[in-house]
Amino acid sequence: MKIRHLLESMAAQFTPAERQLSSVLLADYPFSGLEPIQALSQRAHISAPSISRFVAKLGYAGFQEFQQQLIQELKEGSRSPVEIRQERADGQEATLTSYLTRIEALNEELLRRVTPVQFDRICDMLGDEKRAIYLIGGRMSDSIAEFFTRHLRQIRENVYHIPSDPELWPEYLLRLRPKDVLVIIDFRRYQASLARLSERARARKAQTIVITDQWISPAAKGARELVSVPVDSGTIWDSYIPAFALVEALLVPLAERNWPATEARIKEWDNLRDEPQTGLKE
Average model confidence (pLDDT) across the chain: 88
* pTM for this model (two decimals): 0.72
Q: Which CATH class is domain 109-270?
A: alpha beta
Average pLDDT over residues 71-81: 69
Start-end of CATH 1.10.10.10 domains in the chain: 3-76
Confidence (pLDDT) at 56: 94
Q: What is the pLDDT of residue 108?
A: 92
* Model pLDDT for residues 228-268, shown as the tens digit of each residue: 899 988 787 889 999 999 999 999 999 999 999 999 999 99
For the chain, the maximum distance between any two Cα atoms, rounded to a whole number of angstroms, is: 81
State the alpha helices, DSSP H only, in 28-158.
37-44, 48-58, 63-76, 81-86, 96-113, 116-127, 142-155
Indicate where the chain has its CATH 3.40.50.10490 domain(s).
109-270
Q: Is the pLDDT at 206 greater than 50, yes or no? A: yes
The length of the chain is 282
Write down the number of H helices and E strands in the chain: 13, 5
Would the pLDDT of 51 be above 90? Answer: yes
Q: What mean pLDDT do residues 24-41 have?
A: 85
HEC profile for 108-120?
HHHHHHCCHHHHH
Return the CATH class of domain 3-76: mainly alpha
Q: What's the rounded Cα separation, in Å, for the pair 29 and 169?
A: 26
- Whole-angstrom Cα distance, residue 59 to residue 6? 10
Q: 87 or 51, which is more confident?
A: 51
Three-state DSSP class for residue 49: helix
Residue (of 56, 53, 4, 59) closest to 32 by Cα position: 4
- Sheet strands side by side (includes 159-161): 159-161, 133-137, 181-185, 207-212, 225-228
Mean pLDDT check: name the lowest of 71-75, 107-111, 182-186, 257-261: 71-75
Q: State which amino acid sits at residue 128.
A: D
